[in-house]
Amino acid sequence: MHGYFARRVPGAADDLLAEAWLQAFAARRTFDASRGSARGWLFGVARNVLAGHVRRTGRDTTAPAPAASDPWQAVDQRLDAPPRWLPRCAKRSPICPPRNGS
């Protein structure tokens, strides 16, 4: 959710994220898994927090925001990369060929 806020309101992303988690925790009993995923519900909460912020500050979200660096982008890249301890063949293919006739 931080990236969601950072792309829309870079200067207030941390505060809006904290507010979204507080509101989600307070409304946790309203979550109904039969109506959708927790991710969708959380982003609905985030959308409402962002809408409230826009109403309070009068910021036009359609205006292009200044380029913001997403602090989680580097984390995502590290998580998507294969571990360094894997053999080279495992990095290229999910199945390693047998070694020396083994």
Given this model, what pLDDT does residue 73 score?
77
Q: pTM of the full predicted structure?
A: 0.56
Amino acid identity of 71? P
Q: Is the Cβ–Cβ distance between 66 and 10 less than 8 Å?
A: yes
Map residue 87 onto helix, strand or coil: coil
Given this model, what pLDDT does residue 17 score?
94
The pLDDT profile of the chain, 102 residues, written as one tens digit per residue, is: 999 999 999 889 999 999 999 999 999 999 988 998 999 999 999 999 999 999 998 865 555 555 566 777 777 777 777 666 666 665 555 555 555 544
Given this model, what pLDDT does residue 77 score?
75
Given this model, what pLDDT does residue 102 score?
46
Given this model, what pLDDT does residue 20 score?
95
Question: What is the spatial distance between Cα 47 and Cα 20, in angstroms, rounded to a whole number?
Answer: 9
